[in-house]
Chain A
Amino acid sequence: MVHAPFIPFGRIRTGTTALSLPWGSGSGRAGLTPGRESATLGPSSFDVDGRGRIYLADAMQDRIAVFAGGRLQRQTSIALSARADVALTDAGALFAIDRAGPNVIVRRIDPAGRVGLALSLGMALQGQIRTDGEEAVADLLPQDHWVAVDADRFGSLARSGTTSGRPVHDTQLLRVIDEHSLRLGTVSGGRVVDAVEVRFIQRLGEVALAESDGSGGYWAVVHVWRSSPGPADQFQVVHVASGRIVQSFAVGDSRFADTPPLGRFRLGLDGNLYQLMTRSDGMRIVRYKLGGGS
């Protein structure tokens, strides 16, 4: 067990802006539906490829928009709900998980921007989608099962297995959180290895991100919050490896639109951490360079 450093509320890292879009209609804007006795809805998710290009699920404009250096590179029209989650493969294909009535569906956009047919994963509540190599892994709730989805060479999708942990290469990533601790582990060869429990002084909400660092350690982003003396919340980033905290810092919770809770952070394929933030004037994706000490 390791203890995460206590970071007071408000002592946050600001990062650098990788993408900034005002609200509105059109290719250079991000769609927003202001809440009226309902949630305020905007972009639902994003991912970042190895070159730092940002793939934005602009759900209110029914498109996946690709930005490089803050400029639109291309966009693909696709019907998205405000809860759609997306994830990129190493080769540049993008998978999207979404709701279709009571069912969960997965679609794939190939690297050329062509949208394939949807695969229904049946009746379930939508969790998140991630990738493992060139296949997608979809988290179905409330069972918290991960369903692997493969594409054949024609782009047709098919289920290829179900696991209780998230498939990562030939292992499974486990994550469990309670009010003050985060437990991470890897199932390999039928055994749990590299297990670690990280204790926090502050109260915890969700695991907004949990990723293997590729060397037996983990990157995680957890929501920390308090009710008193005054309500406050922020996110704490931790890198834990070899049974110790290698790096930890806090980032803010800038939230104007009600972005789905598991669509707000990504560990980009370029190795940086990204956060989707929203304000009254628009959205930003902020980059935090990782590495070095805390």
Chain B
Amino acid sequence: MKRLFVLLWVVLPVVLALPSPPQALASWAGDNCNGTHYDDYYVKRSEAQSYASAAAEEGYEWGGGCWNNNNKDDTPDAPDSRGEGPDCSGFTFKAWELRNGFGKQGFEKWERLYEIHGPWTTYDFHSPVSDDPFYKLADKNVSTTIYMDAFAKDGHVAMIYVDGDSPFGLDLMIEALGDDPGTGKFYESYRSQSEYVGVRREDWTDDCWPSCQHPSPSVVVVP
């Protein structure tokens, strides 16, 4: 018995001092991205705008697509770590409620905390093909574009946050701009830059739905 006690006395500290076995590396996305997704119908631009707006100040992650809504980047200065935030094409994919597959039509709601990027890159947004659920606009005039349309080049894509340009000629865009500036609203000159094309998601439901057909209420004049 005494020999066993001595053995434990000698061996136990050595065992405890050994490095613990390797564990799976934790990531912000692994710990936080527990959202879900589901088919969606009658999706309006205003809903997409609101969804995108919640991503502002939530960071940027290359290949990422998961964020909360606490108005801060929870993984600053930690690029490529499965941190918080989308990249620009993943942000557009989720805000536009695209389905996860080339050629798939319809809308799919991806909750903020569901981690997904989608299959489209900026190249795809810049150069849509016929079975994509988005298409290139004929021009980029202010009168042609509508909010939540996008400007895309091979390398970046951003969505128009509000209609109409500013008094100094820039558009207020919402975009995942990069690791440093993160995701947010920025005034940009993409409309004027020749590398960018205008792109529109198909099949939005009008913002006035379901009241679009209702006539304005009659004005009753009380004598």
Binding site for B on A (CB under 8 A): 33, 35-41, 59-60, 81-83, 99, 101-102, 125, 127, 141-142, 144, 175-177, 179, 203-207, 222-225, 227-228, 231-233, 253, 255, 258, 261-262
Contacts and interface: CB of A to CB of B under 8 A. Distances in A.
Interface in B164-223: 166-170, 172, 175-181, 184-189, 191-195, 197
A175 to B, nearest CB: 6
Interface stretch (B5-13, B18-26, B135-143): B135-143
Contact of B71 (A102, A127, A228, A253): A102
Contacts of B184: 99
B90 interface: yes
Contact of A227 (B56, B122, B140, B156): B140
A224 B194 CA distance: 10
The 3 A-B pairs with the shortest beta carbon distances in the complex, nearest first, are A205-B192, A206-B169, A231-B194
A113 to B, nearest CB: 23
Contacts of B186: 83, 125
A101 B185 CA distance: 11
Nearest to B169: A206
Contacts of A81: 180-181
B177 A206 contact: no
Instruction: Specify the main secondary structure of chain B where it touches its partner.
Output: loop
A56 B36 CA distance: 46
Residue among A40, A141, A232 with the highest chain B CB neighbour number at 10 A: A141
A82 B180 contact: yes
Contacts of A177: 167-169
Interface stretch (B27-35, B44-52, B57-65, B94-102): B57-65
Contacts of A144: 166-168
A163 to B, nearest CB: 14
Residue among B71, B139, B172, B181 with the highest chain A CB neighbour number at 10 A: B181
B156 to A, nearest CB: 5
Contacts of A176: 167-168
Given A41-B180, A144-B166, A261-B170, A125 B187 contact: yes
Using C-beta atoms within 8 Å of the partner chain, give the interface range for chain B: 35 or more
Contact of A37 (B63, B141, B166, B181): B63
Contacts of A255: 193
Residue among B57, B139, B168, B195 with the highest chain A CB neighbour number at 10 A: B168
B63 A33 contact: no
Residue among A176, A206, A224, A232 with the highest chain B CB neighbour number at 10 A: A206
B89 interface: yes
Nearest to B170: A206
A173 to B, nearest CB: 12
B177 A39 contact: yes
B68 interface: no
B88 interface: yes
Nearest to A59: B180
Nearest to B87: A37
Given A33-B178, A82-B178, A206-B168, A38 B193 contact: no
B169 A207 contact: yes
Interface in B59-84: 60, 62-63, 71-72
A205 B165 CA distance: 9
A37 B72 contact: no
A142 B166 contact: yes
Contact of A38 (B88, B139, B195): B88
Interface string B136-160: 0011111000000000000110000
